[in-house]
Chains A and B, each alone.
Chain A
């Protein structure tokens, strides 16, 4: 690996994440509308508009501080299960990144493992329940594997993104077993889970940003 990922690159990733949520607002709400109440896109967009407002304050801070600030905004802006889950996600990334000025692939593996654990602890969902975990867990496994195989940061992030996408797609055929959609049982089959989709967009933003850095 040429070099690690710097705070400036993490800032760029956060900015692209804000853009993505704005762009995918209607798509995410449409997915949610099929088996939920249809506001996932708007809530994510609203949340990341708040993130965007706060981002300039983190401009010259370290990676952990940037992610911590994002996590606090996500946790406390729009609420909902997604606020708690994604808030925890960013806060755990931040905790693991600590005060490092730069992060490498090994750091990323630990960061995403910590984020996954945080989400599992608070959300109590498992792979196969038709939630964002179906996107996140396979992505983290792919990242671990790529690191063990000594792949470059860029290749590892490609594996990460592909696994996330496959994971998201897998929710189409699943019956929701947790959350509000679970009350609909079999009626949830045939629809992508909105949380799995928004999680994919988040992970894709990391992957694309890291690939540019690596």
Chain B
């Protein structure tokens, strides 16, 4: 008789739903010649100077562990970068930790702050991992939806109505994945006031900060009285096209960063050394590459926005990141049915909005981090598909 291994799986893990992106990935993987707008990562290869610096570190024999919180040199550069770019000051020694991607930073931040039953507010539609990361850390995710008519911008009164005595923190992603929405200073200030009034903590996911196209980007941590209440989370994946390197960081109040470091040291030890040396080079001399990529994404953003408008698919003009989130409500299909039919009939992969939370239903996420050639063809095919649905 075979062993029933399922009974060994922890209940809170068993209760997790598999990511909707995963299901869609499995479907798209079985097909050939698919144009993918489902990719949540840059189409650029990591800048060559970064790759070369990482090679060099290996040649020099830097293959051992680093300090748990990361190379001091890298933490100093992260600290300098945050100061010069976003006007927020962090001590490299005890307020910055280098992690295995921003995802790990989110995980250890939540594990460091949550007691069982603590609530964490999540602003939907959002990155697929937030709710599960909260659950895995013993917390309870509480969703606040945003609406297209508000440009998918979080409304302070809606945030306030979700706060309960159990609320401990809120996760904000600015610019947002999947909508591309970017909140400016005026829009962030009332949120900050609420955070303070209700004595909450903010996990500010700023992984797309470098990829903002309009007004100057404002880090949540730089708002009045917010630095003590913010764990700023970012990394190298999106801005430096380093997704596979798995390198991120968190900066915040020393006590919180030290608590996170405890979890980090017992589970991960330290982020990969060669990736950290690559990141050192990225911060030292990667600015021109970032600028080049941002310019290219902005041109593509302009192109896809006008293409969707022309098709009559209502869309919010994304302020940052590399996603656009057009409405498909006109077609009368669910986002999942739309994405599946589009994949099968026209071989274009997009991600159904529903996987990013309930408020994502009726929309699709299209990543424009792909070549203009691919984008042009994809827009042609989507247009043909939409016209067929409306006929």
State yes or no: do A and B come from one complex: no
